[in-house]
Structure formats: structure tokens, C-alpha cells
Amino acid sequence: MFDDLPKWLEKLQKTSTSSSLEKAIHGDRLTPVEIARLIEETPFYALSAAADFMARTKKRNRGSFTVNIYLTYTNVCTTSCSFCAFYSPPDSPNAYVIQPRKLAEVAKKAEENGVMEIHMVGGNNPDLPFDYYEKLISSIKERTKKVTLKAFTAEEIWFIAKNTGQKTREVLERFKELGLDSLSGGGAEVLDEEVQKIIAPKKVPPEEYLRVHEEAHKIGIKSNVTLMYGHIEEPINVARHLYRVRSIENRSPGFISFIPVRFNPGNTPLGRSDLYKRKAKVGGKYDLRIIASSRLALLGAIDNIVTYWVAMGEKLAQAALTHGANDLGGTFYQEAVISATGSFKVGKRPDELAFMIAQAGWEPWLRDTFYNYIDRINPIRMPWMNV
């Protein structure tokens, strides 16, 4: 991977006696078993230092984020995942479907206030016809000028196709024609049948999920992919997930970023279960091992490892920027937070994210959805900086 590794890294690797680390830093592809050992057995300092070096070298010390807003078009879902507190059954009084015209107006206001990316997802709602999705995409693209539409998970594409009697490729081609720019990364959870059959048995099978991404890549739609960790998974389950993701990228390139997302037990069936209470890994060091191992297992395949501050928390996300991550995702404003005057009330301002990045030793850069760097951002100045 790097022809001339620094001597300190070579020495650190030898001292660690980790064969998985040795293979990773020299650009060799790891097997699932080797990735599991990387996560579980490699000395923490050696793992972290190697991942951080690779991230900063690959990205030329540019830490990044985008200015985005998170929209949800419906919370109705019949997949009933045990880890989800978002969904409502179709007959629930809390169920909602937002009309395309309303979401388009929100998108327009967001763009007027500096938002560059619309991140839009929803539940698997069996009552929505195909033309609802068509109107959703076309309305947003008609009401905005330059904003990027990153929408729908591979899970949603699979469900929409199944629910409307179409092939997934047909759905993707139509959505691209209407203006869809990229797929979001959710819906993956853990791409391992052993875990999925417990936490989300009704979800799209892992191979089908990845097939949708591969189809998207083949027709020119780039995508993102997540990993939900910190529940009942073991290192080998995470390793299989990473191995499968890399296999698709090697075969059909198109993944923009990899986003590990910590599970939030909240008021979820999984969070209340004895299995979760018995197996959950809740320490911050495990989060950082996941970030570092993701960087090294995907080295040379996916360059952007995102630390999702919304789920991780500000301080741990900042720490992840020194353990292999290079990006904070975005501002993640919410659709309900744009007031009548168009001001934002939830999320993080660009200068706040820039401050987090700078404090982790990176140059803070604003980027677009596809990691084209736009401008170096000055971080917020704290009171003690003016002394």
C-alpha cells in the first residue's frame, strides 16, 4: 500500500506481533478471520497508530464534513426491526407520511441557508405507490438548484421494488433519471446472516443488500455503506461485514464512504433484551477499535471512514479522528428545525465541526457529497483563544 513505511510504524508492527496488522499496512487483503483478529487481538496502540497514519497520509491531513439536512418522508414501516425506535405500524396514531411538495419546500429553504446535501430516508411503507417516490425526487430537484440528493438505502430500494412489482435495477434507473445523486448508507446493520436473523429477520438478506449497491454502481449511482455495532455482534460478524463490503468495492467500485454507527439501545426491544445486556460492548475503546479496524480492513478500497458524531457523541467522535476516521459526516440539521424564518435550531454549525476537526490535528475542510474539497473552514474560536 505504501512503498516506504516510516520506521516507527514498521517497528511498532513488529513489536505488536500482529500478523493481521502486518498484512494490512503492507496492502494485503485480509480474510474475515484476520480482520476479526485485528479487531480483537491487535494491541490497541499499534492498531490506532497505524490506522491514524494511514488516514492522514491517504487524505493529506484534510479532515472534512458537509452541510446537510436529514429528512424522513415516512415513519411507517412493516419490517419491525428489534433495534429501531423510529418506526410506527401503519395503523399507529403516530404514523406519518410527508407529502413531496412539503419536503421540497423544506429542501428549498435548507439550500437557501447553505445546505449542500439532502440526506433522505424513510420506513418500508407498503401503502406508498411508486409515483409517490417519483414525485418526491422530482419535486426536490425542481425546487432546488445545486443541492445533492443522497436518498434511500439499499433496503428501501429492495422494498420499493418488491412492493411495486419491479426489479431493483428498474427502480434505480428511474430514480437516477429523476435526479437521485447517490444512495445513503443505512439499512446494512451487520451483513452477516447469523446476526440479522436475530435482530432484523424481515430485512433484505445481506447478499441482496449488496447486490442493490452493485447494481447502483454499475449504472453510475455511487453509494455509502454503514455498520451498526455495539449490540450482540462478535468481532467475526463485523469482520464478515467488512470483508463483504470490500469484495463488492473491488468488483464494482462506487462506495463513497464507510460509516460505523453505534447502536443506541434507547427504548428498543433489542436494548431491553437479556441477550443485549449480556453481550453488548459499551466501552469507548471498542468504538475506536471498530473505527481503526475499518480503516485498515478497507485500506485501498474505501478511502473515507466517517465517525458519526450523532450516535457516538462529540468527544468520542473527536477521538475517532485520531484512530482512523477522516470525516465527521455533516451538520445533520433536521427537517423540523427550520423555523418560519429559515434558521436552524438543531445540529452542529460548520464552525463547530471545524473546531472538532482542528482539535484532532486535521485541517478542517468543507466537502460535497462526493468528497470534492470546496473550502478550508475556520473553526469556532473559544474564549480562551482570545487571551
- Show me where the domains of the chain are located: 63-386
Neighbouring residues of 263: CB distance < 8 A, sequence distance ≥ 6? 83, 228, 229, 230, 231, 270, 271, 280
**Amino acid in position 347:** G
Q: What pairing do the DSSP bridges indicate for beta strands 363-367 and 373-376?
A: antiparallel
In the chain, the N- to C-terminal Cα span, in Å, equals 44
User: CA-CA distance, 365 to 378, in Å (whole number)?
Assistant: 9
* pLDDT for the residue 7: 93
Domain 63-386: which CATH number of 3.40.50.150, 3.40.50.620, 3.20.20.70, 2.60.40.10: 3.20.20.70
* pLDDT for the residue 87: 87
* pLDDT for the residue 126: 97
Q: In what order do the strands lie in the sheet with 363-367?
A: 327-330, 62-66, 363-367, 373-376
Per-residue pLDDT of the chain (387 residues; tens, 9 = 90+): 566 899 999 999 989 899 999 999 999 999 999 999 999 999 999 999 999 999 999 999 999 999 999 999 999 999 989 998 888 889 999 999 999 999 999 999 999 999 999 999 999 999 999 999 999 999 999 999 999 999 999 999 999 999 999 999 999 999 999 999 999 999 889 999 999 999 999 999 999 999 999 999 999 999 999 999 999 999 999 999 999 999 999 999 999 999 999 998 888 999 999 999 999 987 899 999 999 999 999 999 999 999 999 989 999 999 999 999 999 999 999 854 333 334 444 789 999 999 999 999 999 999 999 999 999 998 876 555 443
* pLDDT for the residue 253: 98
